[in-house]
Structure 1
Amino acid sequence: MNKPIAELISTALNNEMPASEIEKLMEKPKMMELGDVAFPCFTLAKKFKKSPQVIASEIAQQLNSTLIQEVNVVGGYLNIFVNQQMVTENVLQTILREKDQYGSMQTGKGNVVIDYSSPNIAKPFSMGHLRSTVIGNALANIAEKNGYNAVRINHLGDWGTQFGKLIVAYKLWGDKEAIEASPIGELLKIYVKFHERAETDESLNEQARASFKSLEDGDEEALALWKWFRDASLKEFETIYDLLGIRFDSYAGEAFYNDKMDAVVGELKEKGLLALSDGAYVVQLEDMPPCLITKTDGATLYATRDLAAAMYRKKQYEAKKTFYVVGNEQSLHFKQLFNVIEKMGYEWSKDLQHVAFGMMLKDGKKMSTRKGKVVLLADVLAEAIETAKRNIEEKNQALEQKELVARQVGVGAVIFNDLKNNRMNDIDFSLEQMMNFEGETGPYVQYTYARISSLLEKGDFKEQAIQYDALGEYAWPVIQLLEQYPIIVQKSFEQADPSQIAKFSLHVSRAFNKYYAHSKILVEDEWKQMKLSFAFSVAIVLKDALSLLGISAPNKM
């Protein structure tokens, strides 16, 4: 709707303003009685040396199209009422024809690399890791909906000084059988104990540094412990990923780049970018602190590893774009990283994007693994599923596949609670709020889909071409939303913002439920199958929107 109208306005302006720019300025009026689409003419006043109202009036006189029902000029605004019948029938025909392909924007080609989740080995998968995991997964799904091939990478935190600490802690307090029975729980226990003791015993930190040096030097015992910690952790992580329905194409973590960093340091040296600073090598950058490449003892750092990873991924995947889904506290690190790659002469540095997000807080404070102040994601998911199960027992005891539906609803509630928020906002963890199944929640959207599925079953649904007159006045707000879905899909990728899909699904659910409350759908009349076909169109889009977020859509709840 917006695109063809923007093209008409551009033509009325003798193509002196591209339709793409006009479309960006177009708005939805606050009240339906003002119009379906509004175009503010204020920004054109300087260009055309006329008042916004005069410009709006001149455009209005030239807008002759069957798409447009009525045009009004209010102040500097051009308010347009569209031909609702034409738009309704066109949108619904398109959805029914394309089914789950509706909204697919095949504008993208090639690989998009998405680096997300990235938990630390031997540490619990906490609620703090949820954000990167679900935002990254949704972004990968959205990239594919836009025509790209998403390469999903779990850049595991499987190297670093914490392994020195863990090796020391294991030798002092570890219980092999207990760790094999509950790897991450036991490893966390001794890791926390290490930090508590190290506050009063500095020798523990010295032992940890020595242990990590042994690991870097290839000591067999240290390597065997590291591999054991890694394998046990991954096995436990997999149960979480399976529950969330999340997969990866690569688990190449920090350790994978151990033999690839010397080449990067060599290239930096060869290009004259390394500078000595207090015994360490850095790359000097404008308007920000220098990027530290090697420490005084020659040890490499995060930046060195991420440089090696960026080079490897570009060569391996020929990525058109790379997203790093990492908390906003790492913003400086990524600015430095992208600047260094640019200084190295690689134009593809502009294709790298840090997809930052706010923190998951507990009682207003950051969660800390060191102090043991974590909320385990596995525990939250288990409780969410149990809550969903209790709701099912109370409201629909006869429901088939209760366990499956409880899992879909419980897990969906946790994922949706995160993704409905603008990713830059901090989220204060509250299980009670997350499991409130009314209002702006995943279960509300899932229930709307299940309600439509039930209607289709009761009405013995047979897909039918839809006439505008069959639907009634409350259908139009739903149509306007459905028509916007392809644009929402595109914007959510361009802005790396899955919350746009989540909010869209809520708006559609509310609009349809209002329609349902005012419309008799299952009445045996000539319009019944048309109204069911309309409901089916809504279900197609809701299910697709949920799938982009990584959430299942149960047929019954």
Structure 2
Amino acid sequence: MRELVALALHQELAEYLSLEEISSLLETPKSVQHGDVAFPTFALAKVLRKAPQMIAQELAEKINPENFEKIEVVGPYLNFFLDKKKVSAKTLALVCKEQEKYGDATIGLGKNVPIDMSSPNIAKPISMGHLRSTVIGNSLANILAKLGYTPIRINHLGDWGTQFGKLIVAYKKWGDEEAVKKAPIQELLRLYVDFHERAETDSSLEDEGRLWFKKLEDGDQEALHLWKWFREESLKEFQHIYDMLEITFDSFNGEAFFNDKMDEVIDLLEEKHLLKTDRGAEIVDLTDYNLNPALIRKSDGATLYMTRDLAAAFYRKREYNFDQSLYVVGNEQSIHFKQLKAVIKELGFEWYQDIHHIPFGLITKDGKKLSTRKGKIVLLEEVLNEAVASAKEQIQEKNPTLENKELVAHQVGTGAVVFHDLKNDRLNNFDFTLEEVVRFEGETGPYVQYTHARCASILRKTEWTVSTIDLNQSFALNDEDSWEVVKLIQAFPSTVLKAAEKYEPSVIAKHAIQLAQTFNKYYAHVKILTDDAEKQARLVLVYAVKTLLKEDLRLLGVQAPEEM
């Protein structure tokens, strides 16, 4: 719609404003009474040396009225009312033609975009704290793929670091092999929490932990054996959760993978004379960036996150020749990624500009942060299972004869948890309450899924299929309720672009909620199956809504059941 308005304006204003400049000035009126698109004339006042109100009046008389029902002047604004019949017919025909490919683009040109996401620590269960990175990263991968990029989902496992020295100490002192074999993750978590509680009164434990991690780095056989065992058991448990969420990865190369790749980075830093010694540790001074120094190597020779992340960045550039490299990591790590980019810039590599930290806020429980160290952990698997059970209960009440009840409950329950996360702007913190999440009413995943199932039901009743449609016939609709739906259908391609530009899946989730709400209002006001001249166009509208709700949900990583 904005394109139609921008083109019409550009025919009269090409001498003063480019098409892009006109597009950037267009606004969406707050009220439908003021039209579909508004153009403020303030920007032209100086160059035309006229009052904005006069400019608006003169423009209204000159603009080609094709594609518009009317153009109203309200003070300095031009309010455009689009031709509902023309726009609805074109939009609905295009969705019928392109189906789920509606909104696809080729701007990515197949370029690679590695996405560092999820990345739990081994020997710890996947908690609710890992949900955000996992589902935001997966959704961004789906969105970028729709625009023609090649996303590479990387699970950069936390499988290295001092914590594994601590865990080895805890296992050797208080662990039991049988207990670990019986319930690996739960027992390892218990040992990890136990270590920290004891270390509060016995500082020598921290020294022992550091010593055992150094042994692990030096290839000590016992340390390596225990570490591999912890890692294998962890991956089995992680995979179960990822299967529940239907999320796959292209790489599980974690921190340990980069152990033999750090020398290249350290050599480069030395070659550029960037390494400095500070209290025995080796650092890169980032004073010019108003940042604390980047710690590269500790005084005992052990490496740090920064060293491995630098090695990972160079590896990914070489391996994937990325167009963008995304790190979906919590907001609290923003300084770390600023340092990472600054060091790469100091080394003289321009691709530091293609690295993007995608931060996000916290999930809290009763307003409090979740902490593994203190043992205050909410297990993601338990939350997903509870959500599925809640969905099944509600489905039993609403539709007791539904086939595949177990499958639909799984799709609705897990989808509810994912959707609830992604409907929130990613930088916002939010408190998690299961009852709010798995509701079939309100701004929830189940509500959107239920609307999709409603559309499917309407089409089944009439045995309507898109394959029988003659795309040359008119799908024109002229009523206000259908027009509000058509506007949201038409906005879908630009919504996908906006979500990609902002790295913000909530843009898609909000479109899904708005489309579901607007369609349900239409459904309440209009008799869709009445046999008249517009029946076919109304069914095409239902099909378009069903197609886009399913695509919205797919981009978020949520299933769209045909029945609920």
TM-score, length of structure 2 as denominator length: 0.96
Asked whether the equivalents of residues 448 and 516 of structure 2 are also in contact (C-alpha less than 8 Å), the reply is yes
User: Where do residues 42-121 of structure 1 align in structure 2 (5 Å cutoff)?
Assistant: 42-109=42-109, 110-121=111-122
2:35 aligned with 1:35, yes or no? yes
Pair 1:91–1:197, CA change in 2 (3 A): same
Closer/same/farther in 2, CA of residues 222 and 16 from structure 1, 3 Å limit: same
Structure 1 residues 240-272: Cα deviation after superposition (integer angstroms, max 9, x where no partner): 001101011001111111111111011011112
Per-residue deviation at 1:526? 4.4
Gaps of 5+ in 2: none
CA distance in 2, matches of 1:312, 1:50: 59
2:440–2:450 CA contact under 8 A, matched in 1: no
Structure 2 Cα separation of the partners of residues 204 and 232 of structure 1: 25
Do 1:482 and 1:541's aligned partners in 2 also have CA atoms closer than 8 Å?
yes
* Residue matched to 1:150: 151
Aligned mate of 2:541, from 527, 534, 542: 534
Per the alignment, do residues 21 and 303 of structure 1 end up closer, same or farther by CA in structure 2, a change over 3 Å counting?
farther
Q: Secondary structure at the match of 1:258?
A: helix
Letter in structure 2 aligned against 1:491? K
**Which residue does 1:13 correspond to in 2?**
13
Where does residue 168 of structure 2 map in the other structure?
167
Cα shift readout 1:85-138 (whole Å, capped 9, x = no counterpart): 111011101000000100112211211111111111111111010000000000
- Matches of 2:188 and 2:70, distance apart in 1: 69
Instruction: Pick closer, same or farther for the CA change 1:529–1:177 going to 2, 3 Å.
Output: farther
CA–CA separation in structure 2 for the residues paired with 1:227 and 1:535: 53
- The residue number in structure 2 matching 1:366 is 369
What does 1:291-440 align with in structure 2 at a 5 Å threshold?
291-440=294-443
Q: CA deviation at 1:181?
A: 2.5
Q: 1:479: which partner in 2?
A: 486
**Shift in Å, 1:190:** 1.0
SS across alignment from 2:260: coil
Once the two structures are TM-superposed, the CA of residue 284 in structure 1 deviates from its matched residue by 2.0
Matched residue, 1:501: 508
Counterparts in 2 of 1:46 and 1:299: CA distance versus 1, 3 Å: farther
Of 522-531 and 288-297, the range deviating more from structure 2 = 522-531
Deviation (angstroms), 1:15: 4.6
- Counterpart residue identity of residue 457, structure 2: S
CA contact (8 A) 1:461 1:529 kept: no
**1:189-208 mapped onto 2 (5 Å cutoff):** 189-208=190-209
Please say which of residues 20-29 and 451-460 is displaced more in the overlay: 20-29
Q: Which residue of the partner structure matches residue 520 of structure 1?
A: 527
* 3-state DSSP of counterpart to 2:364: strand
- Which deviates further from its counterpart, 539-548 or 265-274? 265-274
Q: How does 1:242-281 map to 2 (within 5 A)?
A: 242-281=243-282
Q: Quick one: which amino acid aligns to residue 272 of structure 2?
A: K
- State which drifts further: 40-49 or 141-150: 40-49
C-alpha change, 1:269 and 1:10, in structure 2 (3 Å) is: farther
Counterpart Cα distance in 1 of 2:161 and 2:173: 20
Counterpart contact for 2:118–2:137, Cα < 8 Å: yes
Cα contact 1:105–1:489 (8 A) shared by 2: no
Q: CA deviation at 1:48?
A: 4.5
Match of 1:225? 226
Residues 151 and 15 from structure 1, CA distance in 2 versus in 1: closer, same or farther, beyond 3 angstroms?
Answer: farther
Q: Secondary structure at the match of 1:218?
A: coil
Give the paired residue count: 557
Between 418-427 and 40-49, report the one with greater CA deviation: 40-49
Q: Which one-letter code corresponds to 1:248 in the other structure? A: F
Distance 1:282 1:534, change over 3 A: same
**Counterpart residue type for residue 555 of structure 1:** E
Partners of 1:265 and 1:15 lie apart in 2 by 56
Residue identity in the other structure for 1:480: K
Q: CA offsets, 1:147-193, max 9 Å, x none?
A: 10111111110000110111111112222222222221111111111
2: distance between equivalents of 1:205 and 1:429?
34
Q: Give 2:78's aligned amino acid.
A: L
C-alpha deviation, 1:46, in angstroms: 4.1
- The answer to whether the 8 A contact 2:84-2:476 is kept is no
Report the alpha carbon displacement of residue 10 of structure 1 after superposing the two structures with TM.
2.7
Work out the CA distance in 2 between the residues paired with 1:90 and 1:473: 17
* Mapped contact 1:462–1:529 kept (Cα < 8 A): no
- Residues 47 and 177 (structure 1 numbering): CA distance in 2 closer, same or farther, change over 3 Å? farther
State the AA in 2 paired with 1:34: H
Q: Is residue 5–residue 80 contact of structure 2 (8 Å, CA) maintained in 1?
A: no
Write the deviation string for residues 377-434 of structure 1: whole angstroms up to 9, x where unpaired.
0000000000011111111111000010000000010000000000000011212222
> How far off is 1:221 after superposition?
0.9
- Give identity over the alignment, percent: 55
Residue 152 of structure 2 aligns to a residue whose secondary structure is: strand
Q: In the aligned structure 1, how far is the partner of 2:12 from the partner of 2:478?
A: 34
Q: Deviations over 1:349-378 (max 9, x none)?
A: 111111010011122221110111011000
Shift of 1:471: 6.5
- 1:452 paired with 2:455, answer yes
**TM-aligned CA distance change 1:60 to 1:279, over 3 Å:** farther
* 1:24 and 2:24 correspond: yes
* Counterparts in 2 of 1:163 and 1:467: CA distance versus 1, 3 Å: same
Following the alignment from structure 2 to structure 1, what is the Cα–Cα distance between the partners of residues 79 and 478? Answer: 25
Greater Cα offset, 381-390 or 340-349? 340-349
Contact 1:459/1:532 (8 A) holds in 2: no
**What is the aligned counterpart of 1:544 among 539, 546, 551?**
551
Query: What is the distance in 2 between the residues matched to 1:178 and 1:254?
Result: 27
Partners of 1:7 and 1:336 lie apart in 2 by 45
Partners of 2:233 and 2:250 lie apart in 1 by 20
Amino acid at match of 1:27: E
Q: Do the aligned residues in 2 keep the contact of 1:471 with 1:531 (CA within 8 Å)?
A: no
Counterpart Cα distance in 2 of 1:58 and 1:228: 77
Cα deviation, residue 40, structure 1:
2.2
- Contact 2:116/2:328, CA 8 A, preserved across alignment: yes
Counterpart amino acid of 2:126? F
Q: Which moved more, 1:520-529 or 1:439-448?
A: 520-529
Mean CA deviation greater in 299-308 or 253-262: 299-308
C-alpha spacing 1:48/1:134, structure 2 compared with 1 (3 Å): farther
Distance across 1 between alignment mates of 2:480 and 2:310 = 57
CA distance in 2, matches of 1:207, 1:258: 21
C-alpha change, 1:41 and 1:336, in structure 2 (3 Å) is: farther
Deviation at 1:7, TM superposition (A): 2.7
> Structure 1 residues 49 and 348 mapped into 2: Cα distance closer, same or farther (>3 Å)?
farther
Which residue matches 1:555?
562
Deviates more, 1:483-492 or 1:208-217: 208-217
- Using structure 1 for the length normalisation, give the TM-score: 0.97
